[in-house]
Amino acid sequence: MVPTMDLEEIHKPLKVQYVSATDSPEFTHLRWALARSSIIGLDAEWKPCQSTQPSTFPTVSLLQLACRVNHGLDDPAESDGSPVFLLDLSSVPLPSIWEILSDVFSSPDILKLGFRFKQDLKYLSSTFQVQGCVKGFDRVEPYVDITNVYNTLQQNHMGRKVHKDMKSLATICKEILSISLSKELQCSDWSQRPLTEEQKAYAARDAHCLLQIFDVFKTKVVSKGKCLNGDSKVHLCASLGLKELLRNPERDNTILTIKLVEALDIIQGISASDYPHRIGVADEAVSSSLCAKIRPMEECLMRIVREYGEMILLKEADMKPKTSRKRGKKRSSVVVVNKTKCETSDEWGGPPPWDFEVGGDGCPKFLCDVMVEGLAKHLRCVGIDAAIPCSKKPEPRDLISQAQREKRVLLTRDAKLLRHEYLLKNQIYRVKSLLKNEQLVEVIETFRLQICEDQLMSRCTKCNGRFIQKPLTTEEAVEAAKGFQRIPNCLFDKNLEFWQCMDCGQLYWEGTQYHNAVQKFIDVCKLNE
């Protein structure tokens, strides 16, 4: 669904700034960007709250702001700047930034994007209230939810109304942008400091992809002619000076306001240089109201807001965590029955179903649920049989049934699945590590798997299948790949051997990527030691 010309833009490296103090250059840049942004993607991260604490909201540790900065009409080359700011709420004094964020959330000249952001806003408001900001945050407007953007794009693509499924952000990114958004670190401990570089990258991508999805949406709207009125007039007005603009009866009021704001910036700069003893007072006045610096929204964006915009409004009931006594009583008997089993399920007891002692065949087999799907590919790379669920959104019973039927150990990071351990005796294990390489090492050590160099890259990473026993020649591989897979022309003169998966037909060859992968897993599994 992404236009070809935008692919390079989508894969461009992100400009990420970590803000941990109000007197830092990063904070100064954040203020500058907020005052010049027309669109901001919002996201928040927090440490998951334990179910034993229903009376409190989780404390938000990190707020991500992806800013679409407008550097000015006279500098179109830089108008596409999109820095992402990671605001560390555990380090920055919250009262000092409450007013800035409140101005951003309520400014009519900044379109806010989010993915089901109402829950984030509730937790964010609670976090600020606990730190002395009595008002918290009660609204975000104008606001566009990415789920609504996705549904509109799907409806336009299909030409009819589509069923509004609750798609995940990762799924939407895959369908709209053709990029994979890993959710491995979603449930990591965001209160721990310092954050890892992987956590920072994950958080930045989560916010920045909102801008990218909206760009696709905006392009579709513009291409339909909904926002093209007066484009030539806008460019003409943009090239005029303030004096000529005021004399022009056909001037564009949005451009006029931007020019006035730019002129005010120049006047304030001159005043500060002429009267240096008043700089502190001027800075204080600016910090008290960010709205005075925010540039007005362009007409095209205003039309999108009028048609698709909404408002997140928190009511008094939203400010209190929801508890259900009836639900609690209903669950209590289940918790008591399985209390001992759930407490011990974090550690592996064994033996696994493939053990000879229980009638197994000695071949380790795993089933990786959606939370550790990346681990499945890593296990396949080291020659271990690792399947994934048969359906995209499996129910717990489906996972249990598949694990029992195929005699596999179910690997998961979902603590809720451990409640079903009594149905899967010695067939469920909760992976503790967050990163795929560490997860792989953890599983190898826990189940005492024997990995050797000959096993590496011996399974199809796509479907978990086995390879054919005899390799194909280049001619045979070209014939096998017809209408299915493209083989680069540069391989034809290298006299390579090709291996084909017996299940899905995918072709592999021992090129640079293969040798890099082999070396990677030799290092991860410490096969040289």
109-145, pLDDT tens digit by residue? 999 999 999 999 999 999 999 998 988 899 999 999 9
Per-residue pLDDT band for 438 (boundaries 50, 70, 90) equals: very high
Give me the residues paired with residue 366 across strands.
386, 409
d(CA 232, CA 506): 51
Residue 324 has pLDDT above 70, yes or no: no
Range of lowest pLDDT (99-108, 140-149, 243-252): 243-252
Cα–Cα–Cα angle for 315, 114, 82, rounded to 5 degrees:
140
Q: Encode pLDDT of 456-497 as tens digits.
A: 998 999 999 988 877 888 778 888 888 778 777 777 667 778
Residue 321 has pLDDT above 90, yes or no: no
Answer yes or no: are the C-beta atoms of 145 and 114 closer than 8 Å.
yes
pLDDT of 472 reads 83
Cβ neighbors of 253 (< 8 A, separation 6 or more) are none
Tell me the pairing of strands 409-412 and 139-145.
Answer: unpaired
d(CA 23, CA 17): 14
Residue 161 backbone phi and psi in degrees, to 5: -70, 140
Share of the chain above pLDDT 70, in %: 73
Closest CA to 22 of 82, 101, 83, 84: 101
Judge if pTM exceeds 0.75.
no
> Span 146-162, mean pLDDT?
75
Q: Which two tokens stand for residue 428?
A: 């469920």
Range of lowest pLDDT (129-143, 241-255, 283-297, 515-529): 283-297
Give the single-character DSSP code of 394.
-
Per-residue pLDDT band for 299 (boundaries 50, 70, 90) equals: confident
Amino acid at 301: L
Q: Which two tokens stand for residue 396?
A: 């717990």
pLDDT of 300 reads 81
Answer yes or no: are the C-beta atoms of 285 and 99 closer than 8 Å.
no
pLDDT of 393 reads 85
Answer yes or no: are the C-beta atoms of 85 and 27 closer than 8 Å.
no
CA distances from 419 to 130, 401, 425, 478 (A): 34, 15, 12, 50
> Span 5-12, mean pLDDT?
54
Exposure on the CB side of residue 349, measured as CA atoms within 13 A: 13
pLDDT of 396 reads 87
pLDDT of 151 reads 86
Tell me the pairing of strands 310-313 and 139-145.
Answer: antiparallel
Average pLDDT of the chain is 79
Residue 316 has pLDDT above 80, yes or no: yes
Per-residue pLDDT band for 253 (boundaries 50, 70, 90) equals: low
Closest CA to 408 of 432, 391, 430, 424: 424
CA distances from 457 to 302, 372, 388, 460, 499 (A): 53, 19, 18, 8, 11
CB atoms within 10 A of CB 435: 15
Residue 75 backbone phi and psi in degrees, to 5: -130, 65
Q: Which two tokens stand for residue 140?
A: 């975000």
Q: Encode pLDDT of 390-406 as tens digits.
A: 888 888 888 988 998 99
Residue 55 has pLDDT above 80, yes or no: no
> Span 265-270, mean pLDDT?
56
Which is more confidently placed, 493 or 433?
Answer: 433
- Mean pLDDT is highest, among 270-284, 349-363, 466-480, for 349-363
pLDDT of 408 reads 93
Range of lowest pLDDT (6-20, 168-182, 400-414): 6-20
Residue 31 has pLDDT above 80, yes or no: yes
Answer yes or no: are the C-beta atoms of 82 and 15 closer than 8 Å.
yes
Answer yes or no: are the C-beta atoms of 31 and 65 closer than 8 Å.
no
pLDDT of 231 reads 46
Per-residue pLDDT band for 323 (boundaries 50, 70, 90) equals: low
Residue with tokens 């309520």: 106
Give buried/exposed letters for 198-226 (b at 16+ CB in 10 A, else e): ebbbbbbbbbbbbbbbbbbbbebbeeeee
- Mean pLDDT is highest, among 48-57, 66-75, 126-135, 163-172, for 126-135
Per-residue pLDDT band for 226 (boundaries 50, 70, 90) equals: very low
Residue 403 backbone phi and psi in degrees, to 5: -65, -40
Answer yes or no: are the C-beta atoms of 110 and 68 closer than 8 Å.
no
d(CA 85, CA 203): 10
Q: Encode pLDDT of 70-87 as tens digits.
A: 865 444 434 447 899 999
Is residue 355 classed as helix, strand or coil in its secondary structure?
Answer: coil
Give me the residues paired with residue 501 across strands.
467
Answer yes or no: are the C-beta atoms of 349 and 426 closer than 8 Å.
yes
